Amino acid sequence: MVKLIQDVKKNTLKQLAKAVKSRRCVAIRYRDQKEIRVIEPHCIYTNDQGEFIIDGFQTRGHSHSGRPPPFWRPFRLKKISAVSLMEERFEVRRAEGFDSNKSKYKDRVIAIVADTGPSHLYPEQDLQEMGPFLPKGQNR
């Protein structure tokens, strides 16, 4: 029985790490509650006691405290009883406080989202002024 529980937790950890690396949302069941939570997992690390912790931005679903999402929350892997990788993707929540340089992540990270800067989108008027353009009617 203990081996089965360990295998389930290993699979849960693998699924969560995959979600972090691909920036995909996950639906989790936490603390054996019937309701689900949808989170954006940003980092998996170990705490001082050696437990696996997932720092996630909960966007919807149940909150035991009654606090309405969205909010940051650490989730203990041992309390996650089910996880489902979703197709929905997320952007790194820097504006909401995510910082990959936090001291709690130092030397303890299992998986962390790539903390790249935002892409730049030129204003539409600049795109119209760029060139050179092909003459109309010619395709390549």
Q: Is residue 108 part of a domain?
A: yes
Residue 111 has pLDDT above 80, yes or no: yes
Q: Is residue 11 part of a domain?
A: yes
Cβ contact 20:111 at 8 Å: yes
Dump pLDDT digits (tens) for 77-91: 999 999 999 999 999
Q: Is residue 69 part of a domain?
A: yes
Number of domains comprising the chain = 1
Q: Is residue 95 part of a domain?
A: yes
Distance separating alpha carbons of residues 113 and 110, to the nearest angstrom: 11
> What dihedral do alpha carbons 59, 22, 53, 77 form, nearest 10°?
90
What count of other Cβ atoms lies within 10 Å of the Cβ of residue 110?
17
Identify the pLDDT of residue 32. Answer: 77
Q: What is the DSSP letter of 65?
A: T
Instruction: For residue 17, give its domain range.
Output: 2-116
Cβ contact 75:56 at 8 Å: yes
Identify the pLDDT of residue 128. Answer: 45
Distance separating alpha carbons of residues 60 and 72, to the nearest angstrom: 11
Q: Is residue 13 part of a domain?
A: yes
